[in-house]
Amino acid sequence: MRPNSQLARDAGLELGSSGAIRTNRHAQTCDADIYAVGDVAEYAFGPTGQTMPIPLAGPANRAGRLAGEHATTGRATPMADCMGTAIVRVFTQTAALTGLSIAQAGRLGIPARSVTILANDHAGYYPGASVITLKLVFHPDDGRILGAQAVGESGVDKRIDVIATVMAMKGTVRHLAGLDLAYAPPFGSAKDPVHMAGFAACNQLDGITDFIDAGADVSGLQVLDVRMPEEVRKLPFPDAESPINIPLDILRSRLSELDHSAPTVITCYSSLRAHVASCILKQSGFEQVQVIEGGTVVRDRAIRARRQTPEQAGLDPV
What are the extents of the domains in the chain?
6-73, 86-205, 211-306
Under a CB-based contact definition with an 8 Å cutoff, are residues 225 and 232 in contact? Answer: yes
Q: Judge whether residue 315 has pLDDT over 70.
A: no
Residue 318: what pLDDT?
39
Q: How far apart are CA 213 and CA 271, in angstroms?
A: 12
Rg of the chain in Å (alpha carbons): 23
Residue 1's pLDDT band, with cuts at 50, 70 and 90, is: confident
Q: Would you say the CATH fold of 211-306 matches that of 86-205? A: no
CATH architecture of 86-205: 3-Layer(bba) Sandwich (3.50)
Q: Judge whether residue 105 has pLDDT over 50.
A: yes
DSSP letter for 246, please. -
Residue 317: what pLDDT?
45
Q: Judge whether residue 206 has pLDDT over 80.
A: yes
Query: With pLDDT > 90 as the criterion, what percentage of the chain qualifies?
Result: 95
Residue 175: what pLDDT?
98
Mean pLDDT of 209-232: 96
Spelled out in words, what is the top-level CATH class assigned to the domain 6-73? Answer: alpha beta
Q: Is the pTM of this model over 0.75?
A: yes
Mean pLDDT of 112-132: 97
Return mean pLDDT, the chain.
Answer: 95
Residue 122: what pLDDT?
97
CATH architecture of 211-306: 3-Layer(aba) Sandwich (3.40)
Residue 313: what pLDDT?
54
With b for 16 or more beta-carbon neighbours within 10 A and e for fewer, the 161-172 pattern comes to: ebbbebbbeebb
Q: Judge whether residue 308 has pLDDT over 90.
A: no
